[in-house]
Amino acid sequence: MRKLLPILGSHPGGRSAMTCRYRCGDACFHEAPNTSGNEYAGDIIAGALSRRTMLRAGAVAGVVAVAGTGACSGDSAGAVTAGAGSAKGKPAKGLRFTPVEPNTADKVTVPEGYKQNVVIRWGEPILRGAPAFDPKKQTAKAQEGQFGYNNDFLSLLPLDGGDGERGGARRQLLVANHEYTDEVLMFAGYDADDPTREQAEIGWAAHGLSVVVVEGESKSGALKAVPRHRLNRRVTATTPFEVTGPAAGSRWLRTSADPEGRTVLGTLNNCAGGTTPWGTTLHGEENVDQYFANTEKVKDEKHRKRLERYALKGTDTERKWERFDDRFDVLKEPYEPHRFGWVVELDPYDPDSAPRKRTALGRFKHEAAQPRLTRDGHAVVYMGDDERFEYLYKFVSSKRMRRGESRADHEHNLTLLDEGTLYVAKLTGDSPADEIDGSGELPSDDKEFDGRGKWIPLATGDRSHVEGMTADEVYVFTRVAGDKVGATKMDRPEDVEASPRTGRVYAALTNNTDRGASGKAGPDEANPRKGNKHGQVLEFAEKDDDPAARRFTWRLFLVCGDPDDPDTYFGGFPKDQVSPISCPDNVTFDAYGNLWLSTDGNELGSHDGLFGVATTGPRRGEVRQFLTVPTGAETCGPIVQERRVLVSVQHPGEVDGATVEEPASQWPDGPDEYVRPSVVSVWRADGGNIGV
């Protein structure tokens, strides 16, 4: 069912050098900034469960309690019966599609019997007064009213009193991140050494977030944008944000433009995110280091080292924004970088509300933030810090979510992410240490990579739990706090999300080619491969099924790569029956509890894709590829509704040497048109449920 294609590139994670440069400021080409000497240790047990709330038209209504048991430590692969489907011998309900073969087609390839449409493209006008897209005459003003560049995270929120989950004609509210800009593919004749002010300002306007109402066609899963709707909104790199939580007003956040340290202009590099049970969206500010110039020239060593711990480096930046706004130059505004690298919360139903930077969730390269609730209503947010050898975090709110629909209830819920405890993860393996030799061979004791973990508290409100650091310092320099308490260095922790069926939590660890390199952390049981090109998916279960627990058990659910390679593992499922998968990045779940994974980079020669995999029942670990994206693109923001799959096609055509004049992709509109990052909807031609 699969055929492997020739290996194409050698950039880490299979990305083009252009993607590395524009997206993450060549994060994989410089020394990983975690040079701390902390090592591995750990502890205890658990089970699984959960409950998840569903959104209802902006306020919160029903809570869906879900079934499912099975202790992570006890059940062997395949021994847990799924709450939904998984009849023996048949694919899990929700995964009964013919897998897409690995391929390099310059299009979105979907399974047989499925259809697709482009929902919205970079530059489509969404606000009143915004002009039609004309890339040759683009202006910052036009871009401020148009859909931004490089859509990543997506959220679909219900409108008109319906849940919008079933497709059809109902309107929904689409929220999208715009992670970064690729000027070479946006501007004809772009001169990277001498960008114009207008180009910089277009870049500011093309970053950020979009909120746009979308409408379904009556007899398909197609969606289209509703321009000029009163809820449509753009948030950009210059939109005022309110800083909230325990570090608001901290001396580390003050600048000459904002001596109070409470108002920041804009958000940058929003990668993935989450949708809260109280009807807001969360957005992770990720590779923000690349926007700030002149770290190398900072004389104050303590300050420079703190910047370097966050990967800031060098002199000029790629986009040269420091030439047009002093705040992007750390010699002129030393603390401006501290004002990025947060989780931001947006209330998309309130277009006049200020978006907020939530300092209680710590500052690092936030990939995503998907909350869940404890049984008694505390919000728990798992978070990955996406850089080599960085950490996994968890925030537990001190307040409980109110389930009422009054304005007061909503205002209360908007404070949930401002008070609580921030934790970092430490994982310990339980197999003989000499068997974790970096080869990826399963240890002999229990034939899987597994062990125990604990959540180490870093700060609670204004109280620091880290010796030698104030609470402010813990929030603003969270990586340093993780170093001090000996958190486990992971292989690039990305999206983390709990299964609504079992309560088990899944974290994508995308890759880490430096694992085991000279002078770097060696393999451990949770990160067991040296030179890890393909990544792994960690599964963990909180003790007593309590998301607020301090202890958990974990195991690797997938060790990704070519299933023919002995260092791969697919939840115990026969490896000759799975799709190859490389560099897992985003995670989400369908209504049946299947895990869906999108990939970023592919070291197996195929284009990136979206994959589904059962996590319980006899098909546990059977990875099936659902779609692939065009040349140079990454699959992001997956949403799997009952009758519709939505993906972000990010950075299509981003191949080394490609320009506007000589594009590497013709997607989505064919030759002679600009390559445009876009959102795509996929549905079953016969109107049936996805994958069933």
If one asks whether residue 289 binds ligand FEO (CB under 6 A), the answer comes out as no
Contacted entry of ligand FEO, Ca ion, none for residue 430, CB cut-off 5 to 8 Å set by kind: Ca ion
Angstrom distances, CA of residue 368 to CA of 32, 319, 341, 508, 510: 20, 25, 11, 11, 13
Of 66-74, 269-277, 351-359, 416-424, which part binds Ca ion (CB under 5 A)?
269-277
Q: Do 628 and 672 form a contact (C-beta atoms < 8 A)? A: no
SS3 419: coil
SS3 638: strand
What is the C-alpha to C-alpha distance for residues 283 and 235, in angstroms, rounded to an integer?
12
CA-based torsion, 211, 280, 176, 163: positive or negative = negative
Contacted entry of ligand FEO, Ca ion, none for residue 286, CB cut-off 5 to 8 Å set by kind: ligand FEO
What is the C-alpha to C-alpha distance for residues 137 and 131, in angstroms, rounded to an integer?
11
Least Å from the CB of residue 585 to ligand FEO: 6
Give the CA-trace dihedral at 674, 679, 685, 691, to 10 degrees. 130
Contacted entry of Ca ion, ligand FEO, none for residue 285, CB cut-off 5 to 8 Å set by kind: none
SS3 521: coil
- Quick one: which of 106, 258, 367, 562 contacts ligand FEO (CB under 6 A)? 367
Of 143-151, 303-311, 330-338, 585-593, which part binds Ca ion (CB under 5 A)?
585-593
Q: Do 494 and 636 form a contact (C-beta atoms < 8 A)? A: no
Joined together, the tokens standing for residue 115 give: 């259809």
Least Å from the CB of residue 634 to ligand FEO: 8
Beta strands in 355-489 (DSSP E): 356-358, 370-373, 378-384, 388-390, 392-400, 420-429, 450-460, 463-464
If one asks whether residue 285 binds Ca ion (CB under 5 A), the answer comes out as no
Q: Nearest-CB residue to ligand FEO?
A: 271
Of 274-282, 400-408, 428-436, 528-536, which part binds Ca ion (CB under 5 A)?
428-436
Taking residues 166 to 205 in sequence order and writing x for each that binds ligand FEO by CB under 6 A, - otherwise, the string is: -------------x--------------------------
CA-based torsion, 662, 666, 669, 671: positive or negative = positive
Cβ proximity to ligand FEO, 335 vs 340, nearer residue: 340
- Quick one: which of 124, 329, 450, 567 contacts Ca ion (CB under 5 A)? 450
Looking at residue 316, its amino acid is D
Least Å from the CB of residue 207 to ligand FEO: 13
- Quick one: which of 494, 514, 546, 622 contacts ligand FEO (CB under 6 A)? 494
- Rg of the chain taking only CA atoms, in angstroms: 23
Beta strands in 565-633 (DSSP E): 569-570, 584-589, 595-599, 609-613, 624-628
Angstrom distances, CA of residue 357 to CA of 155, 243, 281, 361, 370: 18, 5, 12, 9, 15
Least Å from the CB of residue 30 to ligand FEO: 16
Least Å from the CB of residue 152 to Ca ion: 6
Cβ proximity to ligand FEO, 460 vs 635, nearer residue: 635
Contacted entry of ligand FEO, Ca ion, none for residue 431, CB cut-off 5 to 8 Å set by kind: Ca ion
Q: Nearest-CB residue to Ca ion?
A: 431
For residues 580-609, which are near ligand FEO according to CB under 6 A? Answer: 585, 600
SS3 398: strand
What is the C-alpha to C-alpha distance for residues 104 and 141, in angstroms, rounded to an integer?
37
| End-to-end Cα separation, the chain, in angstroms | 20
For residues 507-536, which are near ligand FEO according to CB under 6 A? Answer: none
For residues 13-72, which are near ligand FEO according to CB under 6 A? Answer: none
- Quick one: which of 32, 264, 271, 458 contacts Ca ion (CB under 5 A)? 271
Q: Do 460 and 452 form a contact (C-beta atoms < 8 A)? A: no
- Quick one: which of 431, 588, 594, 641 contacts Ca ion (CB under 5 A)? 431
Least Å from the CB of residue 385 to ligand FEO: 9
Contacted entry of Ca ion, ligand FEO, none for residue 183, CB cut-off 5 to 8 Å set by kind: none
Cβ proximity to ligand FEO, 542 vs 600, nearer residue: 600
Cβ proximity to ligand FEO, 397 vs 536, nearer residue: 536
Cβ proximity to ligand FEO, 386 vs 450, nearer residue: 386
- Quick one: which of 385, 386, 545, 654 contacts ligand FEO (CB under 6 A)? 386
Q: Do 328 and 322 form a contact (C-beta atoms < 8 A)? A: yes
Joined together, the tokens standing for residue 48 give: 């699984």
Report phi then psi at 206, rounded to 5.
Answer: -90, -10
- Quick one: which of 26, 286, 385, 491 contacts ligand FEO (CB under 6 A)? 286
Least Å from the CB of residue 72 to Ca ion: 12
Angstrom distances, CA of residue 518 to CA of 31, 453, 514, 521, 567: 12, 27, 8, 8, 21
Preceding amide of 668 cis, omega within 30: yes
If one asks whether residue 271 binds ligand FEO (CB under 6 A), the answer comes out as yes
Site size with ligand FEO, rule: CB under 6 A: 8
Angstrom distances, CA of residue 73 to CA of 69, 344, 448, 467: 12, 35, 11, 33
Least Å from the CB of residue 387 to ligand FEO: 9
Contacts of 322 (CB under 8 A, 6+ apart): 292, 293, 294, 316, 328, 329
Contacted entry of Ca ion, ligand FEO, none for residue 450, CB cut-off 5 to 8 Å set by kind: Ca ion
Least Å from the CB of residue 367 to ligand FEO: 4
- Quick one: which of 585, 603, 608, 622 contacts Ca ion (CB under 5 A)? 585
Contacted entry of ligand FEO, Ca ion, none for residue 542, CB cut-off 5 to 8 Å set by kind: none
Taking residues 108 to 147 in sequence order and writing x for each that binds ligand FEO by CB under 6 A, - otherwise, the string is: ----------------------------------------
Least Å from the CB of residue 631 to ligand FEO: 19
Residues that bind ligand FEO (CB under 6 A): 179, 271, 286, 367, 386, 494, 585, 600
Binding site for Ca ion (CB under 5 A): 271, 430-431, 450, 585
